[in-house]
Amino acid sequence: MLEMIPQSERGWTYDIWLNDELAGVVRFGRFFERGSITFERRLYRVRKHGPLSLRWTLEVDRKVVCEAVQTSRFNRRFQLKSPADEFVIQDLSALARGFNILRNDDAVIGSIHPNHPMTRRVTVDQPAGVRDIDLVFAFWLVVLTWRRAAEPRPEATVDKS
């Protein structure tokens, strides 16, 4: 089982625990929706392909090991493709923080969900045949959607007095 534990109450850096052992760290860059994943002693870079792009790649040594495409700006659904597998992650609903892991025929094969409503600790169910690093990348994308939702909107900070 993969468990993701935030390093602080307000930060976006998570420790990755695999079978009760620390296996890595998930980090986010300050700008442009990029970051890194250190997993099982390898450093992976997460790169977004342009400010308006809906495509991210997970790279190691400048080689793409997994690719994700958000299907629309108006939903939280990502198609992930790696040499080993293809799957989709999709939110449970517009207000839920949990995501289902789906095969391309929309059959649920796993989930990424907070352990309960008041926590940021996350459990990733590991479907058979899906590489751990691909699931960690999927988790990175889920947290990206949470970060977007947590960002203050310009209209919310305007003083109308």
Q: Map 99-154 to HEC letters.
A: EEEECCCCCEEEEEEECCCCCCCEEECCCCCCCHHHHHHHHHHHHHHHHHHHCCCH
> Chain-centre distance of CA 55, in angstroms?
13
Q: Using one digit for the tens of pLDDT, what is the confidence trace for 78-89?
A: 999 999 899 999
Domain membership of residue 88 (yes or no) is yes
Helices then strands, counting H and E runs in the chain, come out as 1, 12
Cα 147 to Cα 13: distance, rounded to the nearest angstrom: 11
Contact 48, 59 (CB under 8 A): no
Domain membership of residue 138 (yes or no) is yes
Domain membership of residue 79 (yes or no) is yes
Q: Which residues contact 8 (CB under 8 A, 6 or more apart)?
A: none
The CATH number assigned to the domain holding 84 equals 2.40.160.200
Cα 104 to Cα 81: distance, rounded to the nearest angstrom: 11
pTM of the predicted protein model: 0.89
Domain membership of residue 157 (yes or no) is no
Domain membership of residue 159 (yes or no) is no
Domain membership of residue 160 (yes or no) is no
Domain holding 26, by residue range, is 2-150
- As for how many domains the chain has, the answer is 1
Q: Using one digit for the tens of pLDDT, what is the confidence trace for 20-74?
A: 999 999 999 887 789 999 999 999 999 999 888 999 999 999 999 999 999 888 8
Domain membership of residue 78 (yes or no) is yes
pLDDT grade for 155, boundaries at 50, 70 and 90: low
Cα 75 to Cα 5: distance, rounded to the nearest angstrom: 26
Domain membership of residue 9 (yes or no) is yes
Contact 144, 34 (CB under 8 A): no
pLDDT above 80 (res 158): no
Instruction: Compute the 3-state secondary structure of the chain and give helix, strand, coil in percent, each to the nearest 5.
Output: 15, 45, 45
